[in-house]
Structure 1
Amino acid sequence: MSADGFTGGPPPGARPDWTIDQNWNAYSGAEHEVWLTLYRRQVELLPGRACDPFLKGLEALDLHRGGIPDFARINQELARLTGWTVVAVPGLVPDEVFFQHLANRRFPAGRFIRRPDELDYLQEPDVFHDVFGHVPMLTDPVFADYMQAYGEGGLRAQGLGRLANLARLYWYTVEFGLLETPQGLRIYGAGIVSSHAESRFALDDPSPNRLAFDLARVMRTPYRIDDFQQVYFVIPSLEALLAASLQDFAALYARLAGAKDIPIAAIIPEDRVLTRGTQAYAKARADQ
């Protein structure tokens, strides 16, 4: 929920750290019903698709009780499990604010929910994407540590001018990451797990490339925000993802400064290819 280009301070009604009250009692019955509709169709789809840590986190936090979750309620269990909490924010927040929250084990979440006619696409993340998509993974100690490390790395990257590279890491892991398991590929990225259509596309469609995760490779790969992904990066384990994030990125950033971006749909000789996609979906969309 970060965005660059912000000027000035927080909007009226927000605290200096951009947090606001969730004001859970103000949600309408219709808004709670949107949450329940989204929740029901995802929990029917995700078994056998989402990774075990996500499914266990979903159960631990009981995210369907009473409609839109009350952050104060779920924070009790989340804090007990990993020391994280969810804080409400008015929307996208400046990068530095976002990183500060993550570095202090606070996840900033929007409090608004999409309209009934927007179930399948939103330009800006809402409470369903942020809480259903992201928060269950924060119950896993390894992933919780990765998110904190990402926040700390973001604060360092600002001083090195490499935020664009670091944003790609977030996109291809936290938002659109896949996990390799003995049972097959599983979803852990929030952008997939909160999307009914992409939960199918990411695992089943022949169109996208699915490549083994490599930190430098990911940081050289642009992404698209307006449609299904053309490439997914697959981690071997959450522990491997955390280990990759704990190294000093300064030397890597220095190498990336002289490296060209790799086109989104490209496969390079160094890639370990799990699925060589047809790119048929992206080509069809480009022809429209």
Structure 2
Amino acid sequence: MPNDRISPPPGAASDWTIPQNWGAFTREEHATWDTLFARQVSMLRGRATPEFLDGLDRLRLSESGIPDFAELSERLMRATGWQVVAVPGLIPDDVFFDHLANRRFVAGNFIRRPDQLDYLEEPDVFHDVFGHVPLLAHPTFADYMQAYGEGGQRALGLGALERLSRLYWYTVEFGLVRGDDGLKLYGAGIVSSFSESRFALDDPSPNRIGFDLARVMRTRYRIDDFQQSYFVVDSFEALLAATLETDFAPLYDALREQPDLAPDALLPDETVFTRGTQHYAHTHPRP
């Protein structure tokens, strides 16, 4: 994920990449990955979209320990032409988008402590690799991520980064997709979280709303807690088509004339899979 523009830290290249130095990870750090992986996979069978689970298998992410990015990138390159590169943490917007546009996914080069299994404020290697990388083995989603990077580069010039960041949040991080037997998880922020992977599908609190590009880019989101609304795409092909077939410049202009929507808002005539009670949001107020 991006942050404001600053200079690369010592030891980082101009594109903010650093050597993964896989051999420096400790036995405890590898064990933390294994604990997180086993817990999530047991939760996600039947809940995550099959494309995500297939990506786990195709990329051999079930092998013990934190993945070696060189080996992982070799498998991913064969699948869709993507690779995984290490970065020291959050990176500038323009660098982030350039990596995506060139089919490079940036991943944090640290893992949470054992006492942080359930929550970590800054994305670590487990969130970035387990959460994001499996779907990069799926050709359509891989194309969507490249298109998003290219769109981000344009959004910077159009002063529309906040709008586009909402698209990333509600799809790449917290998206749901329609499956043959109901809604499925695919967003990295959900599938890498033990608690949210249950909340997003099972809890009566959040809204679950049919995806609409303009609607998503009008909707604020929560960064401090579970989401009050999730957006449901019909398929990854439909998501990619919606982004490739839209001229974003006039859409951004039109959105500037419309008010933002609250995270729990519902609009008339939109597809609502679940009208949430918002009980959770009321009992867990924003700090």
TM-score (norm 2): 0.98
Residue 260 of structure 1 corresponds to 259
Instruction: Count how many residue pairs are aligned between Structure 1 and Structure 2.
Output: 286
Candidates 88, 103, 115, aligned match of 2:101: 103
CA apart distance, 1:248: 1.8
Question: Are 2:151 and 1:153 aligned?
Answer: yes
**What is the CA–CA distance in structure 1 between the aligned matches of 2:93 and 2:158, rounded to whole Å?**
14
Question: What displacement does 1:64 show?
Answer: 2.8
Q: 2: CA distance between counterparts of 1:91 and 1:133?
A: 16
Aligned residue for 1:274? Answer: 273
Whole-Å Cα distance in 1 between the matches of residues 286 and 80 of structure 2? Answer: 47
Q: Matches of 1:74 and 1:273 in 2, distance apart?
A: 38
Of the three residues 59, 66, 72, the one matched with 2:70 is: 72
Q: Which ranges of structure 2 fall in alignment gaps of 5 or more residues? A: none
- Do the aligned partners of 2:86 and 2:106 also contact (CA within 8 Å) in 1? yes
Task: Specify the alignment match of 2:2 in structure 1.
Answer: 2
Q: Report if the CA contact (8 A) 2:32-2:113 is conserved.
A: yes
What is the distance in 2 between the residues matched to 1:50 and 1:155? 30
Amino acid at match of 1:222: R
Tell me the amino acid that sits aligned with residue 229 of structure 1: Q
Q: Give the equivalent residue in structure 1 for 2:201.
A: 203
Residue matched to 2:56:
58
2:211 is aligned with 1:213: yes
Equivalent of 1:21, from 11, 19, 43? 19
Q: CA deviation at 1:254?
A: 0.7
**Separation in 2, partners of 1:203, 1:257:** 32
Q: Which residue of 2 aligns with 1:35?
A: 33
Q: Which runs of 5+ in 1 are unaligned?
A: none
Distance of 1:205 and 1:145 partners within structure 2 = 32
> Deviation per CA, 1:169-192, whole angstroms, max 9, x where unpaired?
000000000001121000110000
Q: Percent identity?
A: 65
Structure 1 residues 134-153: aligned runs within 5 Å: 134-153=132-151
Matched with 1:117 is: 115
TM-score w.r.t. length of structure 1: 0.98
Secondary structure of the 1:108 match is: strand
Is the Cα–Cα contact under 8 Å of residues 224 and 286 in structure 2 kept in the other structure? no
Match in the other structure for 1:49: 47
Aligned equivalents of 1:248, 1:102: Cα separation in 2: 20
The runs of at least 4 aligned residues of structure 1 exceeding 6 Å deviation read none
Counterpart-to-counterpart distance in 2, 1:137 and 1:111: 20
**3-state DSSP of counterpart to 2:84:** strand
